[in-house]
Structure 1
Amino acid sequence: MKIVIIYFLLAYVKVTICLRVVSITVPKYKQRGEPATLTCDYDLEGGRLYSVKWYRDNEEFYRYMPRLRPPQHAHRLDGVKVDLGKSSARHAHLRELTLRSRGLYRCEVSEEAPSFHSAQAEAFMEVYHFPRDSPSVTGHERRYEIDEPLDVNCSSARSFPAPDLHWHINGQKITERSWLVAYGAKPVPQGLLVSTLGLKAPAKPRMKLRCVATIGTHKRERTVLIDTNSASCNSRVGASLLILTCVNMIVRDKIS
């Protein structure tokens, strides 16, 4: 009985030694039309490689099996174009990414007999489309009265995913929620989205508005100026000066 237990313990230790950690390197963000190289790192610890398989959202698209000739094989999958010439046992190179290329990528490594042990790791890749066009701003063309709520909207260019929008007034980012109107993302052709954010801040003299659209570390922005109606302000100042003049005249009359 002791011999049997020792045998199983030794077998378990042998299998444990062959265990390896699989790490995966997948770009977090890639622009539509760009290539991407996916990397799967593994250590067989003396074992022999049986296969390396790649999946996107649980659908296999590439495998490497050293016992086969040729060892590489790519499956057809919408949005995934494998460049076999640049792929290997540790890399899967994808060409011309599309918006359908986004998804959860998984690498699965298996050993040869007798263990047939396998390990896997996964990571998500977002494929975005962010054109060079700046956001468009409407509602800034009209003249506003002092303290009148603005009626200004900022809309991103057609993108994917929907960009985040932020307003800045004279260099200060606006966080006052009562001033912001989120209209959400609107779908447009080709699977793209347009985000719109409104601004209702009170009008002040010399206002410079800046709308910033961001996807990941990429951003586009547009700056506009708000023209306030200074006539009302000038009239109030003129009225005040007139009152002061009249008061001065009355005081002088009384003194004289």
Structure 2
Amino acid sequence: MCCVKCFMLLCLTFMSSKIAICVRITRLEVPEVVHLGDPVVLDCDYTVEGDEGLVVKWYFNNTSTLIYQWIPNTKPLTLGILRGRVNLEYSASSDTNSVHRALHITKPGPDLSGDYTCAVSSFSSEDKKTKRMLVVAPGKSLELKQEFREKGVMKIVCSAEGVYPQPNMNIHVNNSEVNNSVLSIQKRAGLFDIEVMADIPSLTSPEEFSCELHIPQANYTIRKEAVFYPFSANSCFLPNNHFILTIFLFLCSIWY
């Protein structure tokens, strides 16, 4: 009797293990970092024993926010944040059970940064895997310039627009960081505009300045360098005097 019970238990265990592997995700490809506006494919490859009740679903940030669903032999469906942002004609495979398993996002924006969960299920089993994706905007330009405030003081300004996620920025002079800088950050249309300013004593000789913008989450850094020269009051007025002289000569030619 004991042997019969053991045999039945082994059979049940074997059958349960077979059911558990009916659907299995073998590969989830979600890029860690993508650039703003660059098309990207999020792929979810799987094996399935039989196709009864097969459904592929994608979730964003948690398993209650459904953004994509596909059932074989039907058209894919996009929802929520992905509506209108996925190429529904994209084919990840020629297999009818996995043709539209992937997400082909045509123009990812910063709002699509987050966790993506692929869930594949059938009538008998389900498997899920999650990975994170960050959409990075390095900014349109990085500018470094000098401005003159008053006698004995000059202002160094570094700025960038359209950055994501929120970056860090600092100014260096001769490879030493300027400590008295003032940082200003504004968010516009989901992206960050950043500016750092520092007042320093007027230069007495040429100095090398640099500005560094760093996005920690993406391990991204960009640097701009410039050599600034001492300000000369005389050089500032020379163009104006030349302009006045030109106008004077022109008027003389008309009058005489």
Sort the TM-score into its range (normalised by shorter chain).
0.5 to 0.7
Distance 1:201 1:8, change over 3 A: farther
1:89-128 map, 5 Å: 89-110=100-121, 112-113=122-123, 116-128=124-136
1:237-252 map, 5 Å: none
Residue aligning to 1:224: 226
Offset of residue 16 of structure 1: 5.0
Residue aligning to 2:138: 130
User: In the aligned structure 1, how far is the partner of 2:231 from the partner of 2:107?
Assistant: 52
Offset of residue 138 of structure 1: 4.3
User: In the aligned structure 1, how far is the partner of 2:226 from the partner of 2:44?
Assistant: 48
Percent identical among aligned pairs is 21
User: In the aligned structure 2, how far is the partner of 1:219 from the partner of 1:6?
Assistant: 58
Which residue of 74, 82, 101 maps to 2:77?
A: 74
Offset of residue 53 of structure 1: 0.8
Higher strand share: 2
| 2:188 maps to 1:160 | no
Q: CA RMSD in A?
A: 3.4
Aligned AA for 1:164? N
Residue aligning to 1:27: 31
| 2:61 maps to 1:61 | no
User: In the aligned structure 1, how far is the partner of 2:191 from the partner of 2:70?
Assistant: 35
Distance 1:10 1:123, change over 3 A: closer
Structure with bigger gyration radius: 1
Instruction: Note the residue ranges of structure 2 that are not aligned, 5 or more in a row.
Output: 92-98, 233-256
Contact 1:31 1:127 in 2 (8 A): yes
Aligned AA for 1:206? P
Distance 1:10 1:48, change over 3 A: same
Q: How many residues align?
A: 214
Distance 1:19 1:96, change over 3 A: closer
2:47 aligned counterpart, secondary structure? coil
Offset of residue 135 of structure 1: 2.6
User: In the aligned structure 2, how far is the partner of 1:132 from the partner of 1:166?
Assistant: 18
Distance 1:28 1:17, change over 3 A: closer
Residue-by-residue CA offset, 1:90-137 (whole Å, 9 max, x unaligned): 321112223332222111111x34xx2211112222223334322343
Residue-by-residue CA offset, 1:38-64 (whole Å, 9 max, x unaligned): 1112233x4547121112233222222
24-33 or 9-18, which deviates more: 9-18
Residue aligning to 1:51: 55
Residue-by-residue CA offset, 1:187-235 (whole Å, 9 max, x unaligned): 2x323212233457786743111113244466554333343589xxxxx
